[in-house]
Structure 1
Amino acid sequence: MRALKMNGTGNAFLLIDARSTDIGITPERLSAWAKKHEFDQVLKLEPSEHGDARYRIWNRDSGEVGACGNGARCAGWYLCETSNAASARLDTAYGLTDAIRTGDFRMSVDLGEAHTDWRDIPLAREMDTRALDYEIEMDGHRLRRPGAVSMGNPHAVFFIDPLDGLPVETLGPRIEHDPLFPERVNAGFVQVLARDHIRLRVWERGAGLTKACGTGAAAAVVAGVRRDLLERECRVDVDGGRLQIDWKQDNHVWLDGPVELDGEVEL
């Protein structure tokens, strides 16, 4: 079976269309693919009675996860491209979601509702998710009181100034595996440039430091708005480019940005 290599603002994927011919995703297969191909997540499209395709995601470490925003944009683009349509509906772990074409290689996707109750993240104990009673110190950097948001996956968002020089590669895994987060956590590090503009780096659970994280961008903006640091519409600069977040009044968060098709590979 063949897979498409795609990326959404540098977030790298293998996209498998298994709607007509299935392929099992096993830890052994993921390990073998990871040795041959560079990717952050594997995206799989399966038959759906409710949408254009069921959309599933696996990290490089073989763990299946419930949400990936940039992956949803890539999957949506592929479905639009192959059906010559302007939009597609994905059947996801968090419900049906719409992906809308906003350019030849640009997609906007509804990431669903932002959840901020401590049980939804989830956390190991009750806590105010606007600013968690949590801190970590490493190499002279002291990070404290992150916001916590679930976008179908858990995020802890730290506001840092400046972001340059922060040892994300060593801080990230420590935060990811902290006992406060029983399902592990994606760690986001944000520098506020203006009320409608941030810079973001994300350590993704099971994938490591990635060039972009769509749900991480959404969580960062939601956390910033809840702290009265940001507007609901916000530009997000990531290592792979720029994303646009719009946290609408109905609590749904929309993610917009470019996608790229990097070719095909044999699995």
Structure 2
Amino acid sequence: MTLSFVKMHAHGDDFVIIDRRGQTDPITSAVARRLGDRNRGIGFNQLAVVLDCEDAAARVVFWNPDGSPLDTCGSATRGVADTLMREAGSSSVVLRSNRGLLTCVREEGGAISVDMGKPSLDWQSVPLAEAMDTLNLPIAGSPVACSMGNPHCTFFVDDLSVIDVAEWGPRIETDPLFPKKTNVHFVQVIDRSHIRLRIWERGGGIAQGSGSCCCGAVVGGIRRGLLDERVQVQCDGGTVSVQWDGSGGVILSGRVETVLQGTVAQY
């Protein structure tokens, strides 16, 4: 049996879209893991499966390359939105994910924006293992935590070049403080509207970029009083824009690009 797919990326954050509208959904944890293998499968940071939906243009289900599910992915959401807007000849679309209804818009110049919803700032929602202030976690480096539908832990550092992401990322991801593990961000503030970000992604490892991680990092910086409400986030793979007024939804904006499309012969 063959399975059609489209591979895209957003600032180096690569994802695969499988459109199963009008069809059954064959994706399981084992299938996602096989497809995510960069040597024997397609390879991706996230997999987005597009399904029929009664109250939105489509429902989107996300998977990590290790076969674990996740509730949100800002990059893949924008990729699906770009595809469906081109299909419908429209400049906006509403998608449903486990995060809720997500409004996406094609901006002037071609960037795709998505309202990622309000961040969750209480310890239960991240979630953390016990009650504490999410603005200052009891971990060396005093990181900030929040949830964007998935958990985020953000460290602010003076010099990003001296941080060994491959060493510290997995340590923090699996810290007992995070019962569902966590995404880990290392942020150097360039100025109040510009940060440099490196990412260790839960279930994926070092990532060139990540939409939800960019959002989580900016939310942490704004809560700390380090950033203004509109920030350019420079990742290893490129730059996106994140806007948050401190109370409403977090708006993620940037371009998405198609890499290739094809079929998998066996999955």
- Give the TM-score normalised by structure 2: 0.94
2:239 is paired with a residue whose SS is: strand
Q: Which residue of 1 aligns with 2:9?
A: 7
Q: Which residue of 2 aligns with 1:74?
A: 79
1:112 is paired with a residue whose SS is: coil
Q: Which amino acid aligns with 1:255?
A: L
Pick aligned residue for 1:45 from 39, 47, 50: 50
Q: CA deviation at 1:116?
A: 0.6
Give the whole-Å Cα distance in 1 for the aligned partners of 2:150 and 2:24: 26
Whether contact under 8 Å (1:105, 1:260) holds in the other structure is no
Q: How does 1:77-226 map to 2 (within 5 A)?
A: 77-103=82-108, 105-135=110-140, 144-226=141-223
CA deviation profile, 1:128-158 (whole Å, cap 9, x unmatched): 11111112xxxxxxxx100001001000000
Whether contact under 8 Å (1:175, 1:185) holds in the other structure is yes
Pick aligned residue for 1:26 from 25, 28, 36: 28
2:185 is paired with a residue whose SS is: strand
2:16 is paired with a residue whose SS is: strand
Whether contact under 8 Å (1:77, 1:105) holds in the other structure is no
Q: Which residue of 2 aligns with 1:234?
A: 231
Query: In the superposition, relative to structure 1, how do residues 250 and 128 fare at CA in structure 2: closer, same or farther (>3 Å)?
Result: closer
5+ long unaligned stretches in structure 1: 136-143
- Give the TM-score normalised by structure 1: 0.94
Give the whole-Å Cα distance in 2 for the aligned partners of 1:241 and 1:253: 19
Q: Which residue of 1 aligns with 2:256?
A: 259
Q: CA deviation at 1:165?
A: 2.8
Q: CA deviation at 1:28?
A: 2.8
Whether contact under 8 Å (1:120, 1:150) holds in the other structure is yes
Give the whole-Å Cα distance in 2 for the aligned partners of 1:205 and 1:96: 23
The percent identity for this pair of structures is 37
Give the whole-Å Cα distance in 1 for the aligned partners of 2:229 and 2:216: 11
Give the whole-Å Cα distance in 2 for the aligned partners of 1:244 and 1:22: 36
Give the whole-Å Cα distance in 2 for the aligned partners of 1:38 and 1:169: 19
CA deviation profile, 1:179-236 (whole Å, cap 9, x unmatched): 1000100001000000111000111100111111111111111111111111111110
Give the whole-Å Cα distance in 2 for the aligned partners of 1:250 and 1:31: 37
Whether contact under 8 Å (2:29, 2:69) holds in the other structure is no
Whether contact under 8 Å (2:209, 2:236) holds in the other structure is yes
Q: Which moved more, 1:102-111 or 1:62-71?
A: 102-111
Q: CA deviation at 1:8?
A: 1.1
Give the whole-Å Cα distance in 2 for the aligned partners of 1:265 and 1:167: 36
Q: CA deviation at 1:98?
A: 0.4
Give the whole-Å Cα distance in 2 for the aligned partners of 1:116 and 1:176: 18
Whether contact under 8 Å (1:113, 1:252) holds in the other structure is yes
Greater fraction of residues in strand: 1
Give the whole-Å Cα distance in 2 for the aligned partners of 1:31 and 1:114: 28
